């Protein structure tokens, strides 16, 4: 059984379309969250932090464009509008309000999947400057949410993955306990250093030859942690 990768929030009030999208995305190994109203979608976006949102405009409690506006006040998560409204003015307004893409119903499945993957790739590049991160024998595919050590895939829980990604993006920098916790878990967990230590230990067990003498993630006593910058060999880069 494969690990699920990116989380997609499907905001759709028609049960048949929601079910069809759920089956399609599950087959492609995406994690799926579902909402049938705009207000619920905004709350879920804040709580689960999806990697992408598929958004219908004709919601029962508010227009989908209002959902885009609300989310754009604090998040740059990719939003693809999926709507039966096909007139140019509607599309232009949605894009100008912050949607990343617009797909009209009925849609071609392959085209929709291509649009989703393109949006995820662009988002990964915006976050890290590139769709893939490398540090020595460690490689992270930010689009597919997959991690490899010496070209062998290593399974991580979602939170372990988020923590490792934060270190990879900031490799070479000394990071305090508080800023790591705030970035990965949120401001409410800023003092949970024991929690952080447990997760660091779990990651070390998966990526270090000797977890007690780590080469990747180094402890800065009393301050935080630092991921060492390890050269990528020519064989690893090939």
Entry pTM:
0.65
Domains of the chain, CATH where assigned: 7-128 (3.40.50.2300), 132-237 (1.10.10.10)
How far does the chain reach from its first CA to its final CA, in angstroms?
Answer: 28
Q: Tell me what the pLDDT averaged over the chain comes to.
A: 89
Q: Residue 186 CA to chain centroid, in angstroms?
A: 15
pLDDT for position 60 = 94
Tracing tokens 């990719």 back to the chain, one arrives at 78
For the chain, helix (H) and strand (E) counts, in that order, are: 9, 12
pLDDT digits (tens, 9 = 90+) for 58-102: 999 999 999 999 999 888 899 999 999 888 888 999 999 999 999
Contact 50, 33 (CB under 8 A): yes
């Amino acid at each position: 059984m494969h690990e699920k990768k990116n989380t997609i929030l499907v905001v759709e009030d028609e049960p048949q379309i929601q079910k069809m999208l759920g089956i399609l995305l599950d087959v492609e190994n995406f994690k799926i969250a579902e909402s049938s109203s705009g207000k619920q979608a905004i709350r879920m976006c804040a709580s689960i932090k999806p990697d992408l949102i598929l958004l219908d405009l004709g919601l029962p409690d508010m227009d989908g464009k209002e959902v885009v506006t609300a989310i754009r006040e604090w998040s740059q998560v990719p939003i693809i509008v999926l709507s039966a409204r096909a007139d140019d003015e509607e599309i232009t307004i949605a894009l100008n309000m912050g949607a990343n893409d617009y797909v009209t119903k009925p849609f071609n499945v392959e085209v929709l999947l291509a649009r989703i993957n393109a949006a995820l790739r662009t988002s990964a590049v915006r976050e890290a400057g590139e769709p893939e991160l490398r540090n020595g024998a460690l490689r992270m595919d930010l689009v597919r949410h997959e991690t490899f050590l010496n070209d062998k895939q290593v399974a991580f829980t979602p939170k372990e993955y988020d923590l490792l990604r934060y270190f990879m993006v900031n490799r070479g920098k000394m990071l305090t306990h508080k800023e790591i916790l705030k970035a990965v878990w949120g401001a409410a967990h800023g003092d949970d250093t024991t929690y952080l230590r447990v997760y660091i230990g779990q990651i070390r067990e998966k990526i270090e030859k000797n977890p007690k003498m780590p080469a990747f993630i180094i402890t800065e006593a009393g301050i935080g942690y630092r991921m060492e910058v390890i050269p990528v060999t020519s064989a690893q880069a090939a």
